[in-house]
Amino acid sequence: MIQVLKKFKPRIKARIRKNKQIINKNIDNFFDWIKGAELVELKECNTNEDPVRPELDNVFRRSYGRKIYGVKYKGEIYAVMCFAYTNKIPRSVEELDKLSHDAFLQSAQRDQNVGQIAIAYTVWSKKKGGGKLIVKEVFKKIKKSNHLNRLVTLSPLTEMAFKFHSKNGAKLVQVNETTQNFEYEVEKKRN
């Protein structure tokens, strides 16, 4: 019996090595799309795909300076994030609507820069790694902006939202009646 095991040991080791190589290659190919993806502003999104706030239509998502961003790779959108720009942190979608409306009207009378705080109120991914990538890309965009100095979320009160934002480096700012706010620290680069 021991001789039989010794005979098969090299074969087993070789098979394990080969399987490791195949797995590593597949993992590399799996995330290749991330390297070539780009952040783009969208005119609309399929709101039925939104797991957080599907009730908000594209008119809401694009009114009063609000924006929809996507991560695009080879013509396909892999992740979506929607923003409103405000000067205060909202505690609900209704308050988000009012605060972004106010910031938009204030900017029309001044410098056309809407709000100082980017509020991410929904994010979803169609492909593994897309959620993390869009947070990273939007974060870079906010760092480069002249008027935005904070990136805050208006997230649902779920464990999944808590884990996602905590894992991506955000700090819990406040827990509200139906939402929670996380903040990603924005350090502006000095020239």
Query: What is the pLDDT tens value at each position of the chain, 191 positions in all?
Result: 555 555 656 666 666 666 666 555 554 454 555 567 888 999 999 999 999 999 999 999 999 989 999 999 888 899 999 999 999 999 999 999 999 999 988 877 665 566 789 999 999 998 888 888 888 888 888 888 777 888 999 999 999 999 989 988 899 999 999 999 999 887 655 54
The CA radius of gyration of the chain, in Å to the nearest whole number, is 22
How far is residue 14's CA from residue 124's CA, in Å, rounded to a whole number? Answer: 41
pTM for the structure as a whole: 0.76
Residue 98 is predicted with a pLDDT of 96
Domain ranges of the chain: 1-30, 37-184
Bridge partners, 42 (sequence order)? 68
Q: Measure the CA–CA gap between 161 and 171, rounded to whole angstroms.
A: 12
Residue 37, CA atoms < 13 Å, CB-side half-sphere: 26
Closest CA to 133 of 59, 81, 179: 81
Residues 46, 133: Cα–Cα separation, whole Å:
19
CB 186 within 8 A of CB 151: yes
Output the CATH code of domain 37-184.
Answer: 3.40.630.150
Backbone angles phi, psi at 115, to 5 degrees: 65, 165
Residue 93 to residue 35: CA distance in whole angstroms: 34
Q: What is the pLDDT of residue 23?
A: 58
Output the pLDDT for position 191. Answer: 47
Virtual torsion, Cα 119, 59, 179, 186, nearest 10 deg: -10
156-174 in b/e form (b: 16+ CB < 10 A) is: beeeebbebbeeeebeeee
